[in-house]
Copies of this chain bind each other. A is one copy, B any other.
Amino acid sequence: MDILVVNPNTTASMTEKIGEAARGAASAGTRIIAINPKDGPPSVEGYFDEVFAIPGMIGEIQKHPAASACVIACFDDTGLDAARCVGEMPVVGIGEAAFHMASLIAGRFSVVTTLSRSVPAIEHNLVRYGLASRCARVRASDVPVLELEVLGSNARHRISEEIECAIRDDRAEAIVLGCAGMADLAAALSREHGLPVLDGVACAVKLCESLVGLGLSTSKRGGYQVPLEKSFAGIFAPFSPSGRAS
């Protein structure tokens, strides 16, 4: 099966790293197609950036109608609801993926993300998904997204410190890493701290494989109905609900 892994930001090096993480998690028969939009911000840090990342991301998804499933590789599950309206293939956000998986192996977990400005969006998602009661706390490590790409930065150390606090102060039984760019750190941090540390990219790939394997697709009742056909104006004229771009 083909799983589309969409990095909603435009930083190709990060797409590559995410693709690697996804391939590391994928089963033998799964092909990972890691892409990013050419339109939008180089990193998604907070509500403002999200807005300009999603249209391009949706456009990319529409270009792959034959994919079996789709992973949204941004921890605030940017544009997840809209992506589920595109066709019937299952779409899984890396945030929700990690929350659901953590709920299966731990009574409560804490999230360690990048910047404090991203915390409220993650908290809102937890409330919406119903899993806020399973999350002890969402913690900011004050590491900007793209610093995770910089060799020799202090990023890994800061994240490790927050995990320490989560174990001591939140009674966390598992840790969810709150950024796609942290995917490569999970295994080592798990060994270091002696508790499960989850990376959302890997979790989402596995959940997509599972949904496809079960023959399950997105429900077309309720909020994820196929969008009504209409013509968009201006810069969005090439886009459309049916994806038949001019």
Q: How far is the CB of A104 from chain B (nearest CB, A)?
A: 6
Task: Name which residue of chain B comes closest to A106, CB basis.
Answer: B219
Asked if B223 and A107 sit within 8 Å, CB to CB, the answer is yes
A233 to B55 CA separation, bound complex (whole angstroms): 12
Asked if A82 and B50 sit within 8 Å, CB to CB, the answer is yes
Stoichiometry, as copies per complex, reads 6
Residue from the set A37, A49, A213, A236 with the largest chain B CB neighbour count within 10 Å: A236
Q: Which of B47, B55, B118, B232 contacts A82 (CB 8 A)?
A: B47
Question: Which B residues are CB-close (under 8 A) to A128?
Answer: 124, 127-128
Asked if B52 and A239 sit within 8 Å, CB to CB, the answer is yes
Q: Interface extent on A, as a size class?
A: 35 or more
Question: Which B residues are CB-close (under 8 A) to A104?
Answer: 90, 92, 96, 100, 207, 211
Residue from the set A10, A214, A227, A232 with the largest chain B CB neighbour count within 10 Å: A214
Residue from the set A37, A55, A223 with the largest chain B CB neighbour count within 10 Å: A223
Question: Which B residues are CB-close (under 8 A) to A223?
Answer: 46-47, 107, 117-121
Asked if B196 and A47 sit within 8 Å, CB to CB, the answer is no
Asked if A25 lies at the interface with its beta carbon under 8 angstroms from chain B, I say: yes
Asked if B82 and A51 sit within 8 Å, CB to CB, the answer is yes
Q: Which of B55, B107, B222 contacts A55 (CB 8 A)?
A: B55
Asked if A174 lies at the interface with its beta carbon under 8 angstroms from chain B, I say: yes
Which of A214-246 touch B at CB < 8 Å?
214-225, 227-228, 230-236, 239, 241
Which of A1-59 touch B at CB < 8 Å?
10, 25, 27-28, 37-43, 45-52, 54-56, 58
Asked if B230 and A42 sit within 8 Å, CB to CB, the answer is yes
Asked if A85 and B25 sit within 8 Å, CB to CB, the answer is no
Asked if A216 and B234 sit within 8 Å, CB to CB, the answer is no
